[in-house]
Amino acid sequence: MNNPILLEVNDLVVHFPAGRAGPFGPRQIVHAVDGISFRVPRQSTFGIVGESGSGKSTTAQAIMRLVPITSGRVRLGDDDLTELRGNALRKTRRHFQMIFQDPFSSLNPRRRAGDLIREPLDLLDVGSAIERDERVEELLAAVGLPPEAAMLFPHQFSGGQRQRLVIARALSTKPDLIVCDEPVSALDVAIQAQILNLLQRLQRELGLTYVFISHDLGVVQHLCDQIAVMYLGQIVELAPAATLFGAPQHPYTWSLMAAAAPAGNLRNSLKQQFGLRGEPPSPINPPPGCRFAARCPFADERCRRETPKLSIRAPQHFVACHKADEVSQAGQRIMAAA
């Protein structure tokens, strides 16, 4: 994809204080995100996947400036979001919006749908009063809700309809970037497909750019152009979707694929070779070397001592693994035998 870059994240670090280790112990730090970098072209969808605790949602919140950034840079077009404060940040927010996982908890239950869609326009002082009302009608139609839905309260909608309402609100300021944090995980499978199709249609019609956070490989494979796999605050593999699913090279990526594979011989073989063992290390005290080493069947002493760098392995394909060749060959043997 040759579109110009809209979002650029450089060496992003987000650490949170976690109290002391005992009454007189040192202050502890949660390493939620530890030095990740990526770029997202305009009108594309960038996926971030990983299990709970991998740092993907914290990354989304940092991009949105909803959590403090410890270090690093987040640029949106010509704006350095990490430098913006106060009124300058508020004015820039019209260019980037967010869709949250649970549509019900992100909607004020005491306000009608039309007011909820209009709220960002009011807060950011976008357009005249008449233009705002017209925008509400336009957005309801765009997401497939009838005009009379504007008078309803959130509890009067189904889960899928509430997510359509949240999408309409995110679109209200005509943003360039929408960050989607697990936007379909709380919905039934049939409704998930409808929402994903809606997001794709809106992207085509409006030229939107998405950062899409998910733990579901099937969803990101369907929607995303490029995918980053995160583990314990770091990106361990980054590639175009077709490359990632066709020839993954990190054992954690293979582990996620094993968990998502349909029941049968292929899944059994993948889980036998790559199935996750044990629990991830604590983000308060991440181990030296590769953070996946304790759960990796390929790890050796070098993996436990030396942190692998995210390096290019093929065109647009980056992997942080000392054993990438061995891992890739093992996975491809299983796929070829299936």
- Quick check: is 257 in a domain? yes
Mean pLDDT across the stretch 276-305?
93
Of the three residues 231, 266, 296, the one that is the final residue of a domain is 231
Distance in angstroms (rounded) separating the CA atoms of residues 94 and 90: 8
Per-residue pLDDT for 1 more than 70? no
Task: Outline where DSSP puts E strands in 42-92.
Answer: 45-49, 71-76, 79-80
pLDDT band at 232 (very low <50, low <70, confident <90, very high): very high
Q: Specify whether 74 is located in the same domain as 201.
A: yes
Q: What is the pLDDT of the chain when averaged over all its residues? A: 93
Q: Specify whether 86 is located in the same domain as 222.
A: yes
Whole-number Cα distances in Å, 10 to 59, 217, 227: 12, 25, 16
The enclosing domain of 190 has a CATH number of 3.40.50.300
* Residues of the chain above pLDDT 90, percent: 80
Q: Specify whether 84 is located in the same domain as 104.
A: yes
Total Cβ atoms within 10 A of residue 25: 9
Helix axes 159-171, 113-123, angle to 10 degrees: 20
Q: Specify whether 218 is located in the same domain as 258.
A: no
Mean pLDDT across the stretch 305-334?
96
Residue 230: what pLDDT? Answer: 98
Of the three residues 231, 253, 269, the one that is the final residue of a domain is 231
Distance in angstroms (rounded) separating the CA atoms of residues 300 and 26: 31
- Burial class (CB within 10 angstroms; exposed 0-12, middle 13-18, buried 19+) of 112: middle
Please answer whether residues 82 and 10 qualify as being in contact, where contact means their C-beta atoms are separated by less than 8 angstroms. Answer: no
Per-residue pLDDT for 8 more than 80? yes
* Strands ordered across the beta sheet of 311-314: 96-99, 177-181, 209-214, 45-49, 226-231, 234-240, 317-319, 311-314
What one-letter code names the amino acid at 100? F
Q: How many domains does the chain have?
A: 2
Global pTM?
0.94
Q: Specify whether 197 is located in the same domain as 48.
A: yes
Residue 22: what pLDDT? Answer: 67
Of the three residues 231, 265, 298, the one that is the final residue of a domain is 231
- Quick check: is 85 in a domain? yes
Per-residue pLDDT for 18 more than 90? no
Mean pLDDT across the stretch 180-207?
93
- Quick check: is 24 in a domain? yes
Distance in angstroms (rounded) separating the CA atoms of residues 103 and 121: 19
Q: Reduce the DSSP state of residue 155 to 3 states and report it.
A: helix
Where is average pLDDT lowest: 15-24, 51-60, 161-170, 196-205? 15-24
Segments forming the whole domain that contains residue 329? 241-338
Residue 302: what pLDDT? Answer: 97
- Quick check: is 318 in a domain? yes
- Quick check: is 236 in a domain? no
Q: pLDDT digit string (tens) for 89-144?
A: 998 999 999 998 888 888 999 999 999 999 999 988 888 999 999 999 999 999 99
